[in-house]
């Protein structure tokens, strides 16, 4: 079963929304600069105090730290913050403001573990404005997501949704919530969150629709998955994976006629078929009783090397040509295979017998006696080929060998006995006619 590829892109998406939160204060990634910051031991025991205030000197020092950020001098900013926190270690408001800026810098410089500790302390102290605390919870939730700590992220995302007034970010956060719920296998909840995010009419609906689709597939709610697949195509018809998911949701409902129509619509959109797509298309053509089209598609794919030919594909091509009423092309398909296995050989023998190519049948069996020695029914075909090519003595001798051979399939033995009686009767009648 194919899933929409949001899993691999999820970390990229989360990194993007994380950066969006950080850029508002001018913080940019700096891979070259080594950032060092540790939480002072003195604040570990600091308790909440709603009566604390930030004084003018502390405000000036904090402004200086923001000034360093504007200059992308993050190490100097963190040094300033460390000094500020150490100086006002008993003031939860000042400490919280300092940790807030430090966490934002650290989060964007791949120092997420220290950023997480800072954010947890800010939330515990609860000494900043309510909206600011909510934003810190959201940032912490995103950092937890980067570490795949979905159980830790879940309540923080819910808290932000229930408490924040920033409606412009709501769809984005609903996606993060839906993604978290999906990873926790809360598929019904994930669908509900995705729908709420879509109700906010985001500019890019695909992430929310994709998570809704995958949750529906996990729940085996295939009609719902089909509807979401169609919506994804309507939003971005140039994305081939959306078409493939539509085809698969139809097939999962045994709507093979519609699946065939959908894959042909996809081809009209100039989406090239992969090897797997081609095989699915051929299978659908065969299921919908279009064997000649299936054979021509497969023949073209093999000849153009769009797919790598093997025993299985040559066998399938032969079946398609035979079903299309063209046994000679079915034979040619198998003969084109340079590495025939036993299945291919036995089918080729059957096709030669059906087409009355008796000399070719005898030659093929003689060339592969070692591989076919235990296939008793094949010797029945050879006996008939001998008879049809006026080699009656060889036919009767081969049938007698089959009848007296040990461990012969009972049905083969009975058939051999019946044919022997028949051929001997014909031979006796011919002998009488010549007297």
CATH number of the domain encompassing residue 321? 1.25.40
Domains identified in the chain, total number: 2
Q: Is residue 72 part of a domain?
A: no
pLDDT at 317 over 80: yes
Q: Is residue 13 part of a domain?
A: no
Q: Is residue 53 part of a domain?
A: no
Q: Is residue 221 part of a domain?
A: no
For residue range 382-397, what is the model confidence (pLDDT) as tens digits? 999 999 998 988 999 9
Query: What is the reported pLDDT for 324?
Result: 93
Cβ-count burial of 373 within 10 angstroms (0-12 exposed, 13-18 middle, 19+ buried)?
A: exposed
What is the mean predicted confidence (pLDDT) over 282-287? 93
Q: Which of 27-36, 222-231, 253-262 has the lowest mean pLDDT?
A: 27-36
365 and 387 assigned to the same domain: yes
What is the mean predicted confidence (pLDDT) over 272-286? 91
pTM equals 0.74
For residue range 96-111, what is the model confidence (pLDDT) as tens digits? 999 999 999 998 888 8
pLDDT at 245 over 50: yes
407 and 365 assigned to the same domain: yes
User: Over the Cα atoms of the chain, what is R_g?
Assistant: 37
Total count of residues recorded for the chain = 435
354 and 431 assigned to the same domain: yes
Closest CA to 175 of 148, 144, 199, 151: 199
What is the mean predicted confidence (pLDDT) over 69-95? 93
406 and 420 assigned to the same domain: yes
401 and 329 assigned to the same domain: no
Q: Is residue 133 part of a domain?
A: no
pLDDT at 21 over 80: no
Q: Which of 319, 339, 359 is the last residue of a domain?
A: 339
**Residue of higher predicted confidence among 204 and 224:** 224
For residue range 328-359, what is the model confidence (pLDDT) as tens digits? 999 999 988 877 788 889 899 999 999 999 99
Q: Which of 90-94, 122-126, 284-288, 419-423 has the lowest mean pLDDT?
A: 419-423
Interhelix angle 150-163/170-183, nearest 10 degrees: 150
Q: Which of 314, 339, 364 is the last residue of a domain?
A: 339
Q: Is residue 59 part of a domain?
A: no
Q: Is residue 319 part of a domain?
A: yes
Which range marks the domain in which residue 424 is found? 344-435
% of the chain surpassing 90 pLDDT: 66
What is the mean predicted confidence (pLDDT) over 414-434? 82
Q: Is residue 151 part of a domain?
A: no
Q: Which of 306, 339, 372 is the last residue of a domain?
A: 339
pLDDT at 11 over 60: no
């Amino acid at each position: 079963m194919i899933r929409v590829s949001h899993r691999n892109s999820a970390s990229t998406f989360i990194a993007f929304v994380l950066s969006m939160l950080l850029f508002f204060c001018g913080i940019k990634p700096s891979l070259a600069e080594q950032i060092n910051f540790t939480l002072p031991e003195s604040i570990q025991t600091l308790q909440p105090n709603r009566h604390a205030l930030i004084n003018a000197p502390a405000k000036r020092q904090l402004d200086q730290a923001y000034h360093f950020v504007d200059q992308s001098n993050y190490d100097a900013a963190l040094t300033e913050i460390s000094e500020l926190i150490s100086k006002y270690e008993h003031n939860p408001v000042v400490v919280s403001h300092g940790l807030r800026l430090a966490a934002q810098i650290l989060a964007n410089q791949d120092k997420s573990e220290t950023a997480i500790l800072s954010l947890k302390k800010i939330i515990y102290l609860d000494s900043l404005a309510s909206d600011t605390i909510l934003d810190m919870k959201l940032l912490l939730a995103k950092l937890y997501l980067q570490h795949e700590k979905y159980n830790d992220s879940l309540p923080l995302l819910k808290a932000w949704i229930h408490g924040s007034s920033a409606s412009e970010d709501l769809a984005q956060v609903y996606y993060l919530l839906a993604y978290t719920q999906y990873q926790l296998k809360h598929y019904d909840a994930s669908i509900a969150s995705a729908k709420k995010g879509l109700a906010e009419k985001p500019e890019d609906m695909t992430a929310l629709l994709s998570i809704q689709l995958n949750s529906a597939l996990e729940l085996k709610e295939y009609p719902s998955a089909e509807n979401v697949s169609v919506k994804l195509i309507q939003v971005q018809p140039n994305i081939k994976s959306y078409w493939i998911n539509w085809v698969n949701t139809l097939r999962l409902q045994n709507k093979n006629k519609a699946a065939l129509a959908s894959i042909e619509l996809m081809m009209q959109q100039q989406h090239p078929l992969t090897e797997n797509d081609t095989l699915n298309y051929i299978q659908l053509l065969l299921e919908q009783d279009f064997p000649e089209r299936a054979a021509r598609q497969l023949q073209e794919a093999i000849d153009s090397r769009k797919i790598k030919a093997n025993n299985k594909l040559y066998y399938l091509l032969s079946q398609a040509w035979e079903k299309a009423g063209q046994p000679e092309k079915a034979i040619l398909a198998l003969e084109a295979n340079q590495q025939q296995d036993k299945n291919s050989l036995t089918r080729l023998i059957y096709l030669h017998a059906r087409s009355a190519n008796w000399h070719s049948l005898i030659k093929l069996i003689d060339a592969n006696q070692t591989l076919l020695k235990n296939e008793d029914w094949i010797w029945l075909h050879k006996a008939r080929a001998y008879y049809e090519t006026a080699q009656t003595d060889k036919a009767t001798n081969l049938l007698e060998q089959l009848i007296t051979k040990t461990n012969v399939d009972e049905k083969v033995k009975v058939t051999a006995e019946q044919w022997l009686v028949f051929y001997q009767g014909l031979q006796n009648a011919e002998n009488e006619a010549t007297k």
